[in-house]
Structure 1
Amino acid sequence: MIRFSLLVLSFAFLSCGSKEQNPKEEEVKPSVEKLSDEQLLDVVQKQTFKYFWDYAEPNSGLARERFHPDGNYPENDSNIVTTGGSGFGLMALVAGIDRGYVTKEEGVKRLDKIADFLAKADRFHGAWSHWIDGNTGKVKPFGTKDNGGDLVETSFLVSGFITVREYLKTGNEKEKAVAAKYDALWKGVDWQWFTNNKNVLYWHWSPNYDWQMDFPLQGYNECLITYVMAASSPTHTIDPKVYHEGWARSGDIVSSKTKYNLPLILKHNGAEEFGGSLFWAHYSYVGLDPNQLSDKYANYWDLNVNQTKINYQYCVENPNKNAGYGPEYWGLTASYSRNPDGSIGYNAHMPSNDQGVISPTAAISSIVYTPKESLTFIRNLYENHKQETWGDAGFYDALSLGNKWVAKRYLAIDQGPEVVMIENYRSGLLWKLFMNAPEVKQGLTKIGFKSGKYGI
């Protein structure tokens, strides 16, 4: 999986004191009026948006894999672009333009720059690689054999393409021209190639190693959107059997298990007791609206709400007695993590892999599913722990407040869903744009989905 297979980083721990250790600052801190929920969300959304605007990779305009405010990057890789995170970033740019965080003219100029860069970047049967060198457009291998097309990352990116196209397609001549560029990019992905002549999609293909990565996409994890995009393609679509026999395992994807009296509904790969990391409820659904969305295997709103509530309930129950866990401090997903020696690593946190680390993106990006619980978390961090947890691009990536530890770093794949899901909670903008695309409606219908909300 993307998050499970990230290379572990081991760098010097950045110490960060709590407010209680800084009484002087508390004394001089001016009193401010308490923000309303809407004001608080706007502050968080606007600050997090900076990741994709102020701190984007400068040559390409795309999302950096990571942003370290201290400038301490592993192997000087500050110019490495992440394909999937850039897909979330494209949606974040649309939200930022619509909110007036930047002007439409500025936003369209950035979107045009990104489209031109991606048109020249390395592609493999239409798919982009997991990482791209932002200076050259060449592949930056994610692993020895992972140096070619990454279909899952490409599907996240393409979701952004469709959203941008739908947002700009009725605009002025310049906006329509940029929309046309994204339309052409999306139609160039050869989803059919990635079946390897079988009834399943494969994650990777390399010009050097062919299909040796051998990672068939079989549910359930973060990859549902890959099948939706493949079914929706007007140029290189897949047969419905690829979805039903591959992803859905001929029906074996369905689970009868419950946790905290909440049905899991689908079998979460490798995490069938509590469900997987919370990004599984985010990545496929930044554009794909789970409201009233169902097929013969699941009601996807119930699926995601239940996974989120199970994750929340686990943190409230707190069986490992981690300091601070509770209704105001919860959320387990893949992110930077605290190594035993206090240094910064990476881990796929979830109830069955609880390392005492809370990832703000988990609760924040779940706001569409658990608005009360997510707002409680956001308000707690912002009002009670802002000094430790808030930085240049919003809340830092990972926290262990009980250990007085914060990873003062950011990842695109965490910051992106925060901006997008806050927007979907506030206005539904990205969901509306994506779901009303004609190809998406056709693709969903083709593989048996229904959505009363969008007339499918």
Structure 2
Amino acid sequence: MVRISVLLLAFSFLGCGSIGEKSKEKVAEKTAAVKLTDDELLATVQKQTFKYFWDYAEPNSGLARERYHPDGVYPENDANIVTTGGSGFGLMAIVSGISQGYITKKEGVERLNKIADFLGKADRFHGAWSHWIDGNTGKVKPFGTKDNGGDLVETSFLVAGMITVREYLKDGSEKDKAVAQKYDALWKGVDWQWYTNNKNVLYWHWSPNYDWQMNFPLEGYNECLITYVLGASSPTHSIDAKAYHEGWARSGGIVTSKTKYNIPLILKHNGAEEFGGPLFWAHYSYVGLDPNQLTDKYANYWDLNVNQVKIDYEYCVENPKKFEGYGADYWGLTASYSRNPDGSIGYNAHFPTNDVGVISPTGAISSIVYTPKESMAVIRNLYENHKDQTWGDAGFYDALSLGNNWVAKRYLAIDQGPEVVMIENYRTGLLWKLFMNAPEVKQGLVKLGFKSGKYGF
């Protein structure tokens, strides 16, 4: 989903001739007081953004709301709608929150237990959860008319979080181990094999009413790599490696020799072959899947993601459409709330060939692992120069357009989640270590032909 935010200078009055000397001194003191080191600033952003998944979670289920609107105004009364994929990021965020001391382990384990119990009773479709779930009832909330059943991609983001939680708790107290076992049983109930529809490819959707009519085979490259990794890793319903090589990799057709700004794209980005896709493609699969030293016969996945982010960065610095503010400290095109050219507000997946002048803070922030210097420049610009308009209850708002003096003072789970998780991975590597050291994940990656010097396979 997509959200948009507008930024106004927090200290726009600095240097104005009409300000008295005392006022200038106070302004200088205020500016100095909020001048944080990079480490302090990152810690501040991570802790504030974590609140999305703790303070503003859906109260009955404990899961991540699809969206959080601080003004309390929601479309279609969907304040209690939870998102499956965003909740997977939320599970990782809770592990991060415990590790960082934002919450106690007792508090975290209690919430994780509540979530596991809710998911165990929620609607499932051959083991997969739906894209949206009613947080009050556990029943499917259709994402679209025919999208009222299992969503394998959203489920894979959720399962990545489940495995991470299991690994974090499995050697703890008896209570910890009991919760870890619940998550272990939940993820092993997903029937990945069913979602091949007896073909050598995975399908995104299945509906009890519409069967396979959504007809969305997962072919690369986009955000769905993790779905194949988990399908191959399942000890109960594992997919054949042919589904990955013939389906996802299109028998080698996934590879490209194209470059942009002299930077190789490496893989063909579906529908975005010139510049690469929206930046969440470098985030969602990689919150747990560590791309460092990760390779297969198609790509070096660290280079793949770094290159995608750098191309996005170079495009915004070049700024061919001359949008206000674009540059080295204001970049990041990805899916979020959006202000459309006609002035309407909606959701849009922004990338260089679909650029409407909207920057999504999650784009640069969640890329911190790939481009620390460039990402920090954006974080510092937003926090120091535009904080009054862009900073809220759960971190930076979802999106903004300086040129239109507009900010979406709203939040989406799938944007806030990767921020918390990727900052944690940048600071400590914790979530990568937990997920990648799960024995089933290692086995699944080896089955598909992956190698990782970092994790010894």
Q: What TM-score range do you get, normalising by the shorter chain?
A: over 0.9
**Which whole-Å CA distance do the structure 1 matches of 2:340 and 2:456 have between them?**
48
Is contact 2:6-2:404 (8 Å) kept? no
Aligned residues: 446
Q: Could you report, residue by residue, the CA deviation over 1:277-316 in whole angstroms, capped at 9, with x for unpaired residues? A: 0000000000000000000000000000000000000000
Corresponding position of 2:202? 201
**Which whole-Å CA distance do the structure 1 matches of 2:276 and 2:7 have between them?**
32
Task: Note the 1:39-438 alignment, pairs <5 A.
Answer: 39-438=40-439
Q: Could you report, residue by residue, the CA deviation over 1:67-114 in whole angstroms, capped at 9, with x for unpaired residues? A: 000001001100000000000000001001100000000000000000
Is contact 1:336-1:407 (8 Å) kept? yes
Give the TM-score normalised by the residue count of structure 1: 0.95
* 1:14 positional shift: 9.2
Identity across aligned pairs (percent)? 82
CA spacing shift, 1:74–1:14, aligned 2, 3 Å: farther
**Which whole-Å CA distance do the structure 2 matches of 1:111 and 1:343 have between them?**
38
CA spacing shift, 1:408–1:343, aligned 2, 3 Å: farther
Amino acid at match of 1:368: V
Is contact 1:16-1:406 (8 Å) kept? yes
Is contact 2:146-2:210 (8 Å) kept? yes
**Which whole-Å CA distance do the structure 1 matches of 2:229 and 2:7 have between them?**
43
* 1:340 positional shift: 3.3
**Which whole-Å CA distance do the structure 2 matches of 1:14 and 1:236 have between them?**
43
Amino acid at match of 2:327: G
| 2:434 matches 1:454 | no
Amino acid at match of 1:88: F
Q: What SS does the aligned partner of 2:140 have?
A: coil
**Which whole-Å CA distance do the structure 1 matches of 2:76 and 2:8 have between them?**
28
Amino acid at match of 2:196: T
* 1:403 positional shift: 1.7
Q: What SS does the aligned partner of 1:116 have?
A: helix
Is contact 1:188-1:235 (8 Å) kept? yes
Is contact 1:18-1:404 (8 Å) kept? no
Q: What SS does the aligned partner of 1:453 have?
A: coil
Q: What SS does the aligned partner of 1:154 have?
A: helix
Is contact 1:221-1:268 (8 Å) kept? yes
Structure 2: which 5+ runs fail to align?
A: none
Higher relative contact order (CA 8 A, sep 6+): 2
Q: Could you report, residue by residue, the CA deviation over 1:36-70 in whole angstroms, capped at 9, with x for unpaired residues? A: 11100000000000000000000000000000000
Give the TM-score normalised by the residue count of structure 2: 0.95
Is contact 1:82-1:130 (8 Å) kept? yes
Structure 1: which 5+ runs fail to align?
A: none
**Which whole-Å CA distance do the structure 2 matches of 1:359 and 1:422 have between them?**
16
**Which whole-Å CA distance do the structure 1 matches of 2:445 and 2:7 have between them?**
47
**Which whole-Å CA distance do the structure 2 matches of 1:341 and 1:397 have between them?**
20
Amino acid at match of 1:259: K
Q: Could you report, residue by residue, the CA deviation over 1:375-426 in whole angstroms, capped at 9, with x for unpaired residues? A: 0110111111100110000000001112211000000000000000000000
**Which whole-Å CA distance do the structure 1 matches of 2:404 and 2:9 have between them?**
11
